[in-house]
Amino acid sequence: MIPSAFTYERVHTVDEALASLAANPEAKLIAGGHSLLPLMKMRLAAPAALVDIQAIRNLHGVREVDGQVVIGALTTHAEISAHPVVRSLLPALAEAAAQIGDLQVRNRGTIGGNLAHADPSSDLPAVALAYNATLRGLSPAGEFALPADGFFLGPLTTAMPEGAVLTEIAFDVPPAGTQSVYQKVPHPASGYAVVGVAAVIGTDENGCFNYVRIGVTGAGDVAYRAVAAEAALMGQPPTDEAIQAAAGHAAEDGVMGEDLYASADYRAHLVQVHTARAIRRALP
């Protein structure tokens, strides 16, 4: 559990980080380190250089801007799950952040590191998809802003440009009256999501669904939006049958993965069951 040798540099601004990455193509950014370091200790990753961005002050914190909640990339899971703005406006994010790893991980791990690392079993991608998040940052070519939908390309792979620094994540505050939840099946060993479902649900004056966004993580190589289930639910009355029927489509937009713990069939089943449970839990 001893990593290969690497150099370490602490930077204090995003520009310094960009310069370090440009100077050393072998370098990796490190924030909380709770995704990268375990890989390094197993020697599954062996970056020659680590650029530590934790000291960049303006990447911390939560603020409300024009119908969005903008969270600095270095904000920790513990800060997010306890933050009153997140808890009131993005409750599914608070719920998900509170279930990541253990206390130590939540105190060190950051939202930006988590999303940029793009572990397919990570909790936050489901939430980012459900809240229509935008991931912003700087690359050698300038600023970028990428929607969560399309950001996650595969295991540990994102649409971020090479040599870039993720700086903040902007979440759309869902329309008033909507409810949002995060429903998770944790792996009993790793604590990662075997399946995680984030659902943002709104209903009209007749109780019929008029706002539905569902993000699914853990089920396969990459988190996805359950578009077919969303479409099936829109306009429906909040009956058990309608929810069940819509949730039956929740695995269609993803490619189910398989491991020792859960087969693809079982995962698909869990996605459907927990999508239905998430929707029911989100009903007023």
Partner 1 sequence: MSATVFGSQVKRREDPRFITGRGRYTDDVQLPGMLYAAILRSPHAHARIASIDTSKAAQLPGVVRVYTGADLQDRMGTIPTAWLPPESDIKTVAHPALAVDTVRYVGDGVAMVVATDRYTARDALDQIHVRYEVLQAVAEQELAMAPGAPQLHADAPNNIAFHWKVGNATDEVFAQAEVVVRHRIRQQRLVPNPMEPRASAAQYDPSTGELTVWVTSQNPHIHRFILSGVLGVPEHKLRVVATDVGGGFGAKIAVYPDEALVGFAARDLGRPVKWTEDRREHFLATTHGRDQVEDIELAGTRDGTLTAIRVKALANMGAYLSTAAPGVPTILFGLIVPGPYQIPYAGADVYGVFTNTTPTDAYRGAGRPEATYLLERMVDLFAREIGMDPVEVRRKNLIPKDAFPYHNAMGLEYDSGDYHRALNRALEMAGYADFRARQQQLRAAGRYVGVGCTTYVEICGLGPSQVAGAVGFQGGLWESSTVRVHPSGKVTVFTGASPHGQGEETTFAQIVASKLHIPVEDIEVIHGDTARIAMGWGTYGSRTTPVGGSALAVATDRVIEKAKKIAAHMLEVSEADVEFVDGSFQAKGAPQRRASFQDVTLQAYLAWNLPAGVEPGLEASAFYDPANFTYSFGTHLCMVEVDAETGDVTIDRYIAVDDCGRVINPMIAEGQVHGGIVQGIGQALYEGAVYDDQAQLLTGTWMDYAMPKARFFPNFETAFTETPSPHNPLGVKGIGETGTIAATPTVVNAVLDALAPFGVREIPMPLTPQRVWQAIQNGREAE
Closest C-alpha to 27, from 2, 14, 45: 45
Asked if 245 interacts with partner 1 (CB under 8 A), we say no
- Total binding residues for partner 1 by CB under 8 A? 20
Asked if 268 interacts with partner 1 (CB under 8 A), we say no
Instruction: Tell me which residue has tokens 């479409």.
Output: 231
HSE (side-chain half, CA atoms, 13 Å) at 114:
31
- Tokens for 268, please give them: 């698909």
CA dist 131 and 129 (Å) reads 6
Instruction: Please count the other Cβ atoms lying within 10 Å of the Cβ belonging to residue 155.
Output: 13
Site for partner 1 in 33-62 (CB under 8 A): 38, 42
CA dist 53 and 12 (Å) reads 7
For 165, the enclosing helix (H) or strand (E) is strand 165-172
Q: Which is nearer to partner 1, 21 or 199 (CB)?
A: 199
Shortest distance in whole angstroms from residue 271 CB to partner 1 = 11
Asked if 266 interacts with partner 1 (CB under 8 A), we say yes
DSSP 110-122: BHHHHHHHT-TT-
Q: Which residues pair with 189 in a beta bridge?
A: none
List the one residue from 189, 205, 206, 240 that touches partner 1 (CB under 8 A).
Answer: 189
Asked if 104 interacts with partner 1 (CB under 8 A), we say no
Q: Which is nearer to partner 1, 60 or 187 (CB)?
A: 187
Shortest distance in whole angstroms from residue 13 CB to partner 1 = 31
Site for partner 1 in 190-219 (CB under 8 A): 190, 192
Q: Which is nearer to partner 1, 14 or 251 (CB)?
A: 251
Kindly list the residues in this chain that would bind partner 1 in the complex (CB under 8 A).
Answer: 1-2, 4-5, 38, 42, 185, 187-190, 192, 260-263, 266, 269-270, 273
